[in-house]
C-alpha cells in the first residue's frame, strides 16, 4: 500500500485502463461510471471509449448532472434496479458511492455483473474505520448541510447521505472480494476529505487520539483496483 495523492486521484485508474486497452488489442473500451456526480471518468486520450454514468436520483445529484459533458449517456435511479446490462463493460468506476448508499453489497454485485470476464472494478471511497469516516457518519444531517458549501467550496453534489455500511472500509472491501473470488491488484490510501483542513483536520486528529489510534487520521480515502476473474466458474454473481 502507498499514500500517494497523485496516484489515488486518477493516474492509477488511467494506467490500469490503458493496460486493459492493450490487452484488448486496442478495441473500444466500454466504461461504466457509478457515482458519476462526483468524479469525471479517467482522461483517456487516443483511446476510443463509450462512457455511461449511473447514480442515485437525488436532487443534489440531478442538479449537477445537467452540466456534465463527459458522459455518452447517464441514468439516475434506484441503484438496486437501474439498468446494468450483464457483461457489457470492460471497467466499472465506483467513486464515492459505497459509503453513501444502503444495500451497498447488493449494488456492488449488480455492477460486477455488468463487467466482462477479466474486467476491472475501479473503486474510490471514504473508509468508515478512519477518524474522518467516524466524524462523517456521526455528524447530524442539519450540520452537514450547514457546513457543506464552506467545506467543499461548492464542488460536486452534496451533501449526500453518510451511510457507511461495513463494506465501506478497507477490511470490509477485502472481505467482500475474498468471498467473490475477486483479486485486489492495487490498494492505495490518501487524504482528501473536504473537512481535512483547519478545524476539520484538528477534529480528526482529536478523534484519532481519543480512540487510541483505532480511528486513524493518517488517511480517509481508499482507492482500489479489483479484477473480475476470467474463470467462468469463479464464485461471482
Domain ranges of the chain: 5-126+163-191+220-227
Q: Residue 111: its pLDDT value, please?
A: 96
Please tell me whether residue 8 adopts helix, strand or coil conformation: helix
| pLDDT higher than 60, residue 237 | no
The phi-psi region of residue 94 (left if phi > 0; otherwise alpha if psi is between -120 and 50; otherwise beta) is beta
Structure confidence by residue, pLDDT tens digits, 81-100? 998 999 999 999 999 999 99
Q: Pick the more confident residue, 146 or 235.
A: 146
Output 157 or 17, whichever has higher pLDDT: 17
233 CB burial (10 A radius; 0-12, 13-18, 19+): exposed
Residues contacting residue 2 through CB under 8 Å, at least 6 positions apart: 188, 189
| Distance of alpha carbon 228 from alpha carbon 118, whole angstroms | 5
pLDDT of 150: 66
- Comparing 93 with 9, the larger pLDDT belongs to 93
For the entire predicted model, the pTM comes to 0.85
- pLDDT surpassing 60 at residue 236: no
pLDDT band, very low/low/confident/very high, at 4 (cuts 50, 70, 90):
very low
Task: Summarize pLDDT for 179-228 with one digit per residue, the tens.
Answer: 999 999 999 999 876 655 667 788 888 999 999 999 999 999 999 999 99
Q: Classify domain 5-126+163-191+220-227 at the CATH class level.
A: alpha beta
State the residue for C-alpha cell 492493450: 22
Look at residue 149 in the predicted model and tell me its pLDDT: 66
Alpha helix (H) residue ranges in 24-103: 59-65
Buried b (16+ CB within 10 A) or exposed e, 181-215: ebebebbbbbbbbbbbeeebbebbeebbeeeeeeb
How much is the pLDDT for 121? 97
The tally of CA atoms less than 13 A away on the side-chain side of residue 96 is 22
Residue range 125-179, pLDDT digits in tens: 999 999 999 998 888 887 777 777 666 555 566 677 899 999 999 999 999 999 9
What is the model's pLDDT at position 141?
80
Q: Tell me the pLDDT tens digit for each residue of 100-112.
A: 999 999 999 999 9
Q: What's the rounded mean pLDDT across residues 7-33?
A: 83
Vertex 230 angle, CA 227 and 233, to 5°: 115
Amino acid at each position: 500500500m502507498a499514500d500517494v495523492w497523485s496516484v489515488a486521484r486518477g493516474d492509477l485508474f488511467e494506467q490500469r485502463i490503458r493496460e486493459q486497452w492493450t490487452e484488448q488489442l486496442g478495441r473500444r473500451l466500454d466504461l461504466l461510471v457509478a457515482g458519476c456526480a462526483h468524479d469525471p471518468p479517467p482522461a483517456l486520450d487516443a483511446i476510443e471509449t463509450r462512457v455511461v454514468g449511473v447514480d442515485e436520483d437525488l436532487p443534489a445529484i440531478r442538479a449537477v448532472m445537467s452540466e456534465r459533458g463527459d458522459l455518452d449517456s447517464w441514468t439516475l435511479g434506484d441503484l438496486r434496479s437501474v439498468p446494468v446490462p450483464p457483461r457489457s463493460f470492460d471497467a466499472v468506476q465506483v467513486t464515492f458511492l459505497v459509503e453513501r448508499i444502503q444495500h451497498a453489497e447488493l449494488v456492488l454485485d449488480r455492477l460486477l455483473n455488468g463487467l466482462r470476464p477479466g474486467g476491472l472494478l475501479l473503486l474510490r471511497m471514504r473508509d468508515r474505520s478512519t477518524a474522518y469516516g467516524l466524524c462523517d457518519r456521526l455528524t447530524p444531517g442539519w450540520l452537514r448541510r450547514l457546513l457543506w458549501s464552506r467545506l467543499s467550496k461548492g464542488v460536486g453534489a452534496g451533501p449526500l447521505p453518510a451511510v457507511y455500511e461495513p463494506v465501506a472500509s478497507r477490511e470490509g472491501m477485502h472481505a467482500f472480494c475474498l468471498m467473490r473470488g475477486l483479486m485486489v491488484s492495487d490498494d492505495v490510501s490518501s487524504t482528501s476529505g473536504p473537512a481535512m483542513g483547519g478545524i476539520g483536520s484538528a477534529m480528526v486528529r482529536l478523534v484519532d487520539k481519543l480512540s487510541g489510534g483505532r480511528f486513524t487520521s493518517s488517511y480517509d480515502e481508499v482507492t482500489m483496483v479489483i479484477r473480475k476473474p476470467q474463470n467462468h466458474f469463479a464464485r461471482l454473481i
